[in-house]
Amino acid sequence: MSADELLEHAKAWAAQDPDATTREQLEAAIVAAEAGDAVAGAQLRDWFGSRLEFGTSGLRGELGPGPNRMNRVLVAQAAAGLAAFLLHREPSPSVVIGYDARTNSEVFARDTAVIMAGAGVHTILLPRHLPTPVLAFAVRHLDVSAGVMVTASHNPARDNGYKVYLGGLDHGSLIVPPADADIARAIHQVAHAPISELPRSTDFVLADESVIDEYVRRTAAIASVASPLRIAYTPMHGVGWETARAVFEAAGFGIPEIVAAQAEPDPAFPTVAFPNPEEPGAMDLVMALGESSDADIVVANDPDADRLAIAIPTATGWRRLTGNEIGWLLGWRAAERAGKDGVLAASIVSSPALGEVAVAYHLEHVETLTGFKWISRAPGLSFGYEEALGYLVDPAKIRDKDGISAAVDFLSLASELKAAGTTVEQHLLAFAEKFGGFASGQISVRVSDLADIGRMMAALRSAPPSHIGSLAVASIDDFIDGFGPYPPGDILRIHLENGARVIVRPSGTEPKLKVYLDASSNEGDGAARIAAAEAVITELDAGMHTLLGV
C-alpha cells in the first residue's frame, strides 16, 4: 500500500483500539510518520504491511498495535471470525476459553468471551489462569464445539498467542486444514468493519472448579508409585505449579521442592533469557535445587505446562534429558501397556527410535508432520510425542501434549526403577541394548529478519550438499511440493549414506531455522552404541554449522 494508504489504515485501526497502551504507541508513530520520520514510517509498515495468520494451531506473535501484532483489535476479529465459522458449522455451537498469565492473556480471553457470547455461541470461560492441558481437557470433558487457549507457550515474554481446538468429530484436537483456512477467511470478512460494531454480551458461563478437579483426578489416576521420590520442580514463571502440585499430591508423589524464584506466574520471566526448558541455562535454577535437596529427579514445565523437561543425577552432575530420550522411554513404557492394537506416533523430526520400539512390540508406528495437531489425530493412538518436549501419554483424556500428565508417567517410571534398584541413566543403556543406540541433536538459528530463513532454505535447494562434514549424502527429500503422504511444506530431509539423517525447516512458532540431527548404531554394548551414534551427531553438527555459515 502507498504511504497515504498506510496512514489511513493506521488511523482507522487506532480509532477502534480499546487498549490505551497500543493505541498510544500507534498514535505516536502516526504523528511522527506524518512529520517525515522514516523510522516511524518503517515501524508502521511493519505493523500494517502484513497480517498475523493462522500458523501452528492458531495465532502467535509479538504484542503491539496493528494486524501484524497480537492486540485487542486482532483478537476481537479472531473471536468474531471463529464465532462465524462455528455458527456456519452447526446450529448451536459452544466454546470453552482458557488463558495463561502472560501479558494481556486474561484481557484477550474475556474479549473473546463477550464477543462469542454476543454472536450467539454458548460460551464458558475457565475461572482463572490455568495450564493449556486443562483447557484442552475441558474441550472434551465439556463436549463443546471448540476451545480457545490464550497463550504463547514457551515464546519470549513479548509474545502472546491464540490456540484453537475443535470438538465433535475432531475430538478436541487443534485445528488443521481446511478449518484453519476457513477460520482465516471468516476473520478477514469481519476485519472489514470496526470491532466496535461487533455485538457483545456478558452472558457467558464462568466454569466452576469441577473441571479442574476432574483433570487432576484423571491425571493422577495414571500414576504408579512403587518407591518414594525426592522431586525438584519448576513451572518456569508460568501457570503450572498450582495444578501440578495438586496432581502430584493426588498421585502419591507428595509435594516437590519448588524453585521459589520461579514459582509464581510472572509474564516478564525475569530469571531466564527464554522461558523454554530447551534453551541453555533455562533449567539452571531447578538443577541447582535438585543438587541442594538431594533430589532423585528434576521436573520442569514450560510456562503453560504443555511441555515436560527432565534432568537426572549422574556421576558428573545433573544432565537434562533430550526431548527424544524422554520420548523413547515413555514410548517404551506405552508399548508395554498397549497390548496388540496400539499406535505409537511421532513427528517426522523426532527420533526414529520410536519406530524400533513399535517394531519390537508389533505395534503400528505413525510419523506425522510437526505439531500435535497432527500427532493427536493418529487413529488408535496409544502414545505420541515430538522432540520439542511434547508428550501425549493419555489420549483418552486429552488430544494435545500435556506436560503434567507426562510428568506423572515419567515419575512413575522413575519410581518403579528406584524400587527395582536401578536408575533412569541405566534404563537408557537398557534401551540401547534392546532397540539400538540412538542419538539426536538440534541447531536453532534465531534470526531478526524472517527473510533470512527463506534465504537459507533457498541456498540449500539451489546448491544441495554432497557431504555434511566427511559424511556423504545419499538422498534428499524436498517437501516443498508435497512428499509421499505429506502435504507441501518447507522441509528438507537429508539422508546420509551411514543411515543418519538431517532435517531442516523453519520453526512454526518462533523466528528460527531449525535443524534436526539423528544417528544410530547397533555395534557393541549399549554404551558403545550410544557413543558411536553421538560421534556421528558431533560431526553432523559441525558440518551443518559450516554449511549454513552460522
Residues 267-303 pLDDT 10s? 999 999 999 999 999 999 999 999 999 999 999 999 9
Provide the CB-side half-sphere exposure for 512 (13 A, CA).
16
Active-site residue, selected from the candidate residues 153, 382, 415, 507: 153
For 63, 136, 155, 504, the CA distances from 187, given in Å and listed in that order, are 19, 23, 24, 32
CA separation for the pair 327, 353 (Å, rounded): 9
Query: In 3D, which of 108, 125, 126 has the Cα closest to residue 18?
Result: 108
Q: Domain 227-433 classified CATH 3.40.120.10?
A: yes
Instruction: Supply φ then ψ for residue 72, to 5 degrees.
Output: -70, -30
SS3 labels along 500-529: CEEEEEECCCCCEEEEEEEEEECCCCHHHH
Q: Which residues touch 9 (CB under 8 Å, ≥6 apart)?
A: 1, 48
Q: Which residue is it, cell 513404557?
A: 333
Q: Domain 436-548 classified CATH 3.40.1120.10?
A: no
Task: Enumerate the β-bridge partners of residue 78.
Answer: none
Per the annotation, the verdict on 376 as an active-site residue is no
Task: Enumerate the β-bridge partners of residue 505.
Answer: 514
Cell of 366: 505413525
Provide the CB-side half-sphere exposure for 199 (13 A, CA).
10
| Residues 488, 441, 406, 154, CA torsion sign | negative
pLDDT reported for residue 331: 98
For the chain, give every domain's residue range. Answer: 1-49, 70-194+203-208, 227-433, 436-548
Alpha helices in 56-200 (DSSP H): 72-89, 105-119, 132-141, 179-190
CA separation for the pair 389, 387 (Å, rounded): 5
Residue pLDDT tens, the chain, 550 long = 899 999 999 999 999 999 999 999 999 999 999 999 999 999 999 999 999 987 657 899 999 999 999 999 999 999 999 999 999 999 999 999 999 999 999 999 999 999 999 999 999 999 999 999 999 999 999 999 999 999 999 999 999 999 999 999 999 999 999 999 999 999 999 999 999 999 999 999 999 999 999 999 999 999 999 999 999 999 999 999 999 999 999 999 999 999 999 999 999 999 999 999 999 999 999 999 999 999 999 999 999 999 999 999 999 999 999 999 999 999 999 999 998 889 999 999 999 999 999 999 999 999 999 999 999 999 999 999 999 999 999 999 999 999 999 999 999 999 999 999 999 999 999 999 999 999 999 999 999 888 999 999 999 999 999 999 999 999 999 999 999 999 899 999 999 999 999 999 998 777 899 999 999 999 999 999 999 999 999 999 999 999 998 8
Query: Do the domains 436-548 and 227-433 match in fold?
Result: no
Q: Domain 70-194+203-208 classified CATH 3.40.120.10?
A: yes
Query: In 3D, which of 68, 58, 78 has the Cα closest to residue 13?
Result: 68
Q: Say what the pTM is.
A: 0.95
